[in-house]
Structure 1
Amino acid sequence: MYTRYTYREKITCCLIGVILLMVGSACTEPFQGEVAGLEDILVVNALITNENKHQEVRLSRPYRFDENAPIAEENAMVSIDNGTEQFAFEEVEPGIYVSDVPFAAETGKPYRLLITTENGRSYQSDAMQLPVANTSIDNLYAERTTNDEGDEGMGIFVDTFDASSESNYYRYEYQETFKIIAPFWSPMDVVFVIQESDGPVFDVILREREEKVCYGTEREKSINVVNTLNLGEDRLSRYNVRFIDRSDYILSHRYSILVRQYVQTPEAFAYYEALRGLSQSSTSVFSEDQPGFLAGNIFSLDDENENVAGFFEVAAVTEKRIFFNYEDFFPGEELPPYFQECMPATQSGEDLKTTVLRETRVFYDFNQGIRTVPRACGDCNALGSNKVPDFWEE
């Protein structure tokens, strides 16, 4: 089964570099970094929240630029202990461990992550507690706006306020879903039937699945952290969590975004702020030539000098979702350009056979022969899924 890794996980797995990094602030203890090359070290991505659910831990090894994804750390024993209970985790996919039972992090309890890898090495995190505050997103909304570079588009904004002034540290993630309508869709399709002596034979049939309307989904592509320590109150107003250029095809029809707000501990905030700084200081976050190794709050019980990457976080989370149409903000205006150019081409013979068998192009119409277009132009499944998401609203 294919395992999808988030952008944050890829950054963490790549940030195994060559210099000392020390992360800290006036209100937190610094994290100690050590000189390291691209070592075969354990990389941990672990977040438990105040949501009552099956919590998740991901374990991997660092990877180089020419590799597609982190190397999954398989067959480990994973658990979380809060002093009175221990929650066991089961590996459900390579490197992905899910708690046997659903549970929610509770205030006042110290949570530790415990890991024993297949080779018998043991690791443990510092004790982390759920932040006292659990501040909700007061408002999530979209506006037609212009960014600092003068580009016009859609801004996604958050308002949040904690009257107790105990939240202070926030991290935002989002997942966006958008309707895709294939601009050169046809109800017909061309199929290869048989190879005869004078060339391949084709047939044109009705399509057997939905290929006109699909739904694409993308997750956040950056680390978004902010604090309110220097503000007069613990309030964020019109905080921009996402900007989408109006030329981006994901805005073309109907768009939805789910924003998750995490109230963090000072230690977690410092870690993610440093991680963001490291990823931005490199020309490519996927490069093996990274500016530093960032140590988190997880350590080896067998060797105090062993490097362990990643962070075990306990956070309070809330979320909101909104929908809007392109017409709501750009009435009567031209749609953004499609994902790619869709130039029809007349094809026949072996050329058409290769196209059909490789599924690189699809049937569009007849015009002095069979005309085809690039697959994404006539089959939306090239860019998304034809299954309507459970949460979708028209």
Structure 2
Amino acid sequence: MKKLLKLFLLIVLLCCGCEDRIDQPLSSVETGSIVVEAHFTNENKNQLVKLTKPYLEQNGSVVPVSGATVVVVEGADTFYPLVETPAGSGEYFTSNMIAVFGRVYTLVIRHQGGEFVAQARSVPVEPLSPLTYENAGNDQYRLMLNESGSESNYIEYELSWADTPVCNPGTNCLGLVTYYDLKNVDVQDLFKPDKKDFLFPVGTRVIRRKYSVAPEYRDFLRSVLSETEWRGGIFDIQRANASGNVSGALGFFAVSSVQIDTTFIVDKP
């Protein structure tokens, strides 16, 4: 069904679509804005808010925003002040906390006379389906990544074969694979570039984290993916900043519920 949908959309867009190239000089202006990366979950941990300055040029260096005052408010009266650790890093951490489903969280950032505010709440996460993988030959295996459940989500697969005999000293025996299942039909997603298979041996430990995605967070992820993983296919969009939910700033403040499990890869035909 998905292949038929791809073919239909390709025919329609090739018949009806057109592009005009417009070459305009690019200029960079220091606006005083900041970029916010914050994703709280229901894991009991130090939740992170990362603050940086916008890039003034493509492939520029990351410049942290240091010395900000950052607070997260749970509901109306529970305050979590964040501490920049280490100093000068632009990374601000709460004390141990759990972002509870059903609560509204307000992020407040003050820096150099500016105030930046965002609100978010989580939606429930559906259970993880059993991990599926297949034999790729030569004693290697690959993940079988499939849609799951009925609600938007994404799953991170953290892989390590550091404790297996095939991991040679001094080599990187780790991997991270993310599969986005946003329950949407995007031409860019349907025709995104193919990725090289990520292969791993027997004995690999796979830790999965399935994150719930609220509607506004889904829209933000779609914007980011259209500029990153989905880019380079048949259909691309005009480059632009992904629209966030932080007033006066770029980026996004999200809250998710998470399901976690661990599986060890065993030999299979």
User: Could you tell me whether the CA contact under 8 Å between 1:225 and 1:273 is conserved in 2?
Assistant: no
Paired position in structure 1 for 2:173: 216
Match of 1:95 in 2: 90
Instruction: Answer yes or no: is the 8 Å Cα contact 1:181–1:214 preserved in 2.
Output: no
Equivalent residue, structure 2, for 1:178: 161
Contact residue 139 and residue 158 of structure 1 kept, 8 A: no
SS in 1 for 2:161: strand
Aligned equivalent of 1:53: 45
Establish whether residue 136 from structure 1 lines up as the match of residue 136 from structure 2. Answer: no
Structure 1 residue 298 displacement after superposition: 0.2
Matches within 5 A, 1:30-179: 38-40=28-30, 41-63=33-55, 64-67=57-60, 69-82=61-74, 83-93=76-86, 94-99=89-94, 101-117=95-111, 119-125=112-118, 127-131=119-123, 133-144=124-135, 154-157=142-145, 160-161=148-149, 168-179=151-162
Between the aligned partners of 1:121 and 1:182, the Cα distance in structure 2 is 54
- The structure 1 segments of at least 4 consecutive aligned residues displaced by more than 6 Å after TM superposition are 180-183
Q: Distance in 1 between matches of 2:90 and 2:208?
A: 26
- Give CA deviations for 1:127-163 in whole Å, capped at 9, x if unaligned: 22221x23221322322369xxxxx9512446854xx
Deviations 1:66-88 (A, max 9, x none): 54x52111111111112121111
Residues in 1 aligned to 2:27 and 2:96: alpha-carbon distance in whole angstroms: 38
Residue type of the alignment partner of 2:133:
A
In the alignment, which of 315, 320, 341 is matched to residue 256 of structure 2? Answer: 315
User: 1:321 Cα shift?
Assistant: 2.1
Say if 2:235 is the partner of 1:245: no
**Who wins on radius of gyration, i.e. which is larger?**
1
8 Å CA contact 1:170–1:261 kept in 2: the answer is: yes
Distance of aligned partners of 1:212 and 1:265 in 2 relative to their CA distance in 1, 3 Å threshold = closer
Match of 2:190 in 1: none
Return the alpha-carbon distance in structure 2 between the equivalents of residues 182 and 106 of structure 1.
Answer: 41
Task: Write the letter of the residue equivalent to 1:279.
Answer: T
Secondary structure (helix, strand or coil) at the match of 2:131 reads strand
Residue of structure 1 equivalent to 2:240: 292
TM-score (norm 1): 0.49
Note the residue ranges of structure 2 that are not aligned, 5 or more in a row. 1-25, 186-194, 233-237
Pair 1:282–1:160, CA change in 2 (3 A): closer
Deviation at 1:217, TM superposition (A): 2.5
How far apart are residue 43 of structure 1 and its match?
A: 0.9
- Provide the C-alpha distance between the structure 2 equivalents of 1:86 and 1:264, rounded to a whole number of angstroms: 24
CA contact (8 A) 1:170 1:226 kept: yes
Aligned to 1:272: 221
**TM-score where L is the length of structure 2:** 0.69
Distance change in 2, residues 1:59/1:213 (3 Å): closer
Instruction: Give deviations 1:55-100, integer Å, cap 9, x for gaps.
Output: 1111112334454x5211111111111212111110113011110x
* Matches of 2:106 and 2:222, distance apart in 1: 22
Contact between 1:257 and 1:323, CA under 8 Å: does it hold in 2? yes
Structure 1 residue identity aligned to 2:254: E
- Aligned counterpart, 1:149: none
Q: Which residue of 2 aligns with 1:226?
A: 181
How many angstroms does 1:53 deviate by? 1.8
Q: Report the AA paired with residue 78 of structure 2.
A: E
CA offsets per residue over residues 105-133 of structure 1, 9 Å max, x none?
2233221111112x2321101x22221x2
Identical positions, percent: 20
CA contact 1:171–1:261 (8 Å) conserved in 2: yes
CA distance in structure 1 between the aligned counterparts of 2:180 and 2:102, rounded to whole angstroms: 24
Cα root mean square deviation, aligned: 3.5
> Structure 1's 139 and 282: CA in aligned 2 closer, same or farther, altered over 3 A?
closer
- Structure 1: gaps of 5 or more residues: 1-35, 147-151, 186-210, 231-242, 284-289, 301-307, 331-394
C-alpha change, 1:120 and 1:217, in structure 2 (3 Å) is: farther
For 1:95 and 1:66, how far apart are their aligned partners in 2? Answer: 19
Aligned AA (1:137): L
Q: Which amino acid aligns with 1:89?
A: L
Aligned length: 223
The answer to whether the Cα contact below 8 Å between 1:281 and 1:291 also exists between their aligned partners in 2 is: no
